[in-house]
Amino acid sequence: MPYITVGKENSANIDLYYEDHGSGKPVVLIHGYPLSGASWEKQTAVLLAAGHRVITYDRRGFGNSSQPTTGYNYDTFAEDLHQVLTKLKLRDFALVGFSMGGGEVARYLGKHGSKGVSKAVFISSVPPFLLKTPDNPEGVDQSVFDGIQKAVLADRYAFFTDFFKNFYNTDVLLGKRVSEQAVQASWNVAAGCSATASVACVPTWHEDFRNDLTRVDVPTLVMHGDADRILPISASGNRTAKLIKGAQLLVVKDGPHCITWTHSDEVNPALVNFLGQASNTQAVA
């Protein structure tokens, strides 16, 4: 299996597993918590058929990547992404982030700028800023995140079971847009992730990406379900679209958090259409 080494922890390398398929303009797909790059299967097939080169990778601590006990913050995640892009020598590439993956897209563009980046897509993503503070009164109380972290620490397997109910809105969509087997498959992937990562990623959900988003200067698409129970659209997708100049917002009616699976019939055509559009602000690699 192909790996890219992004650091070391004591005597062991920190390696990120990646897949690199197809040809044409590159699209880098960045997964959400607590899954892996394989969660993009419904998008990968469509993007390959549309003539794109498709790259997925597993975030440190997840999937087939190394499981270090360090580096679970967005500065490090963005640097990991930077190393993937550099090692693969990508040019004129699009960045697509789902959920936590949207944080990588935002922080990467905030830190490294848009050189080489053609477009950005945020799907059900964590930016711009979820924590309630004096300058962000519509945010979520710190106690909510503390409670989630406590639940993961106590029994992450039980936590994942409840988490995926709201990830897919199974009370409404089970047997219609998602099967019991698909939910179980997600749980299986989650159960295989690092115990450290499953806890340490929770505080990253309320990192402040507002300044990063103001630096996004490539064509951007924001997609979000209006029934998202993990990251409500009013707190995330709507605000992200407003903070990025010229961003397009696509609201998926009755869409849960994981619209990439349940509503792929809407997400995929929009994604292919957006990535296929000629860019007016093409970055020069």
The catalytic site residues sit at 99, 228, 257
Half-sphere exposure of 253 (CA within 13 A, CB side): 0
Place of tokens 């630096």: 215
* Residue pair 74/103 in contact by the 8 Å Cβ criterion: yes
Place of tokens 């700028």: 113
Strands (E), 124-261: 220-225, 248-252
Handedness of CA 107, 110, 116, 120 (dihedral sign): positive
Give 196's contacts (C-beta < 8 A, 6+ positions apart). 61, 67, 68, 69, 72
In order of 69, 190, 198, 199, the CA distances from 193 in angstroms are: 12, 5, 7, 10
d(CA 8, CA 68): 9
d(CA 102, CA 123): 7
β-partners of residue 120 are: 95, 220
Place of tokens 């192909």: 2
Taking each continuous run of H as one helix and of E as one strand, the counts in the chain are: 12, 8
Half-sphere exposure of 270 (CA within 13 A, CB side): 21
In order of 50, 130, 187, 206, the CA distances from 203 in angstroms are: 37, 10, 21, 6
